[in-house]
Amino acid sequence: MTDARDDVAAQFKTAAEKLERAAAHCRIAARHFIDRDVPRGCAHAFAALGDMAIAHEAIDANAKLHAGKARIDADPGPNA
């Protein structure tokens, strides 16, 4: 049985890897646009968006998990 925190950590690791991959696609897209190779530039730009979407989904899933576990009554806040 795994600890839920291990799953959260794995999702954030996946998000980081996808964001690093998206950055690489952006660098490649920039190079293609400099070379005036618009179709290849667009393909890498689109791939970057896909990797960013996967990262966002992983982070979003963790935000939803956190929201479901957060207790409003447990935190009186700084002005309480």
The pLDDT tens digits of the residues spanning 15-61 come to 999 999 999 999 999 999 999 999 999 999 999 999 999 999 999 99
Alpha-carbon span 42 to 63, nearest angstrom: 31
Q: Which residue has the higher pLDDT, 24 or 74?
A: 24
HEC string for 8-70: HHHHHHHHHHHHHHHHHHHHHHHHHHHCCCHHHHHHHHHHHHHHHHHHHHHHHHHHHHHHHHC
- The whole-number pLDDT of residue 77 equals 67
- The whole-number pLDDT of residue 74 equals 64
Domain ranges in the chain?
Answer: 19-66
Answer yes or no: are the C-beta atoms of 58 and 76 closer than 8 Å. no
pTM of the model: 0.80
